[in-house]
Amino acid sequence: VQFRRMNILQVIPSFYPALAWGGPIQSTYSLCNALAQRNDVTLRVLTTDASGPKLNDRLKVKPTTDFSEGYRVYYCRRQLGSSFSVTMLRRLPPMIRWADIVHLTAVYSAPTIPTLFLCRLFNKPVVWAPRGALQRDHRLGVVGQLLLVRHGQASWGAADYVRELEDLRSSYRLF
């Protein structure tokens, strides 16, 4: 039996070596390194060059960087806020078309809604890792959180899913 390689696209507002953003960067980097070791996976990462909250906090990396672990990272120049990049928005459609599955990290970032919309448009499955952003008393409140939780074809990253779903259930008496 011959298997076809699975094309996985990781969409994340910032990526290694942008360690100023904390744990999600390191854990996503580790996840990507592990996925790249599989001989049935082709991995690409789409991100910005943001290395901190200020607009001039930028990584000094090539726009397209091949990591020695075996995958390619596309760093797009950030123009606004913590994660808005015109180049990233332009690259999203063809990269999502290429992917068999999209792994989206973050909730309150510029690429989140366009990624979810394009995945739905192109009928691509999404694994969505909110990384704690949907817990109680966060930016959107219960109505916004429910809209995001109920978004059609999204699946959750397992580690965040249990904690966040339990928090939503207990905080808002859901399900």
Side-chain-facing half-sphere of 132: CA atoms under 13 Å: 3
pLDDT band at 166; cut points 50, 70, 90: low
Higher pLDDT pick, 152 / 78:
78
What is the arithmetic mean of pLDDT over 74-82? Answer: 88
Query: 154 - beta bridge partners?
Result: 126
What pLDDT score was predicted for residue 8?
Answer: 94
- What is the reported pTM? 0.76
Distance CA 52, CA 3 (A): 40
Neighbours of 38 (CB within 10 A): 13
What is the arithmetic mean of pLDDT over 68-82? Answer: 91
Neighbours of 113 (CB within 10 A): 12
Higher pLDDT pick, 16 / 148:
16
Distance CA 166, CA 121 (A): 30
Structure tokens at 24: 């999600």
- Answer yes or no: is pLDDT of 154 > 70: no
What average pLDDT is seen over the chain?
Answer: 78
pLDDT tens-digit readout, 101-147 = 999 988 778 888 999 999 999 999 988 886 665 555 445 444 444 44
Higher pLDDT pick, 94 / 113:
94
